Structure 1
């Protein structure tokens, strides 16, 4: 849970590095929260307003932690734009985010796990 809170504390921080644990914990918790909110929306007559608000609230931290995760592999944050390429782009990004980061300091900072 500390990894999720660390990602939220760095809401607008697009510099530095994020380890695999921080990134994937953030993604998993957001998926679970999203499904809970969608389930609650379907059980009530509120509509999709809470789900839309949740998505808007996590948009910037999701981009920030994604950029920091790419920085961990010594890649520019601009690689996030690959997500705009249908099918191939997201698969390449998943590959980049799954592989281990550099154990040494790189141009984006020191190793977050070290």
Structure 2
């Protein structure tokens, strides 16, 4: 849970590096919370048929959009890639696969163009 809160504390920090653990735990908690909010939207009838999304889920998605974008950019920095690589996800199917592979790659050892390795500072 600390990794999730750490990403929220760095709400719009696009500089630096993010470990795989930070990225994937944020993604996991976001997914779990989204599922719970989706169920609550369903139970309370808060789903809009036109928009295809519930009120609670929509508000949560807007709230975590910027932190999710920031942690993805920091994760790309950890693999020594520019944050602009996130735009590859705009390519249908192949772009998402390439971005997913980048998210699974290990950190660049030592310091890279985007700062010190976050694994080195963990005690």
Q: Same-fold call, TM > 0.5? A: yes
Q: CA deviation at 1:46?
A: 2.4
The structure with more helix, counted as a fraction of residues: 1
Number of residue-to-residue matches in the alignment: 114
Q: Can you give the 5+ residue segments of structure 1 that lack an aligned partner in the other structure? A: none
User: Aligned equivalents of 2:55 and 2:43: distance in 1?
Assistant: 13
TM-score (norm 2): 0.90
Q: Which residue does 1:97 correspond to in 2?
A: 103
The higher radius of gyration belongs to 2
Q: CA deviation at 1:109?
A: 0.5
46, 69, 82: which one aligns with 1:76: 82
Q: Which residue does 2:51 correspond to in 1?
A: none
Q: Deviating runs (4+, > 3 A) in structure 1? A: none
Q: Which residue does 1:57 correspond to in 2?
A: 63
Cα RMSD for the two superposed structures: 0.7
Between 1:8-17 and 1:41-50, the stretch displaced more is 41-50
1:12 aligns with 2:12: yes
Q: Which residue does 2:50 correspond to in 1?
A: none
Q: Can you give the 5+ residue segments of structure 2 that lack an aligned partner in the other structure? A: 48-53
Q: What secondary structure is seen at the aligned counterpart in 2 of 1:52?
A: helix
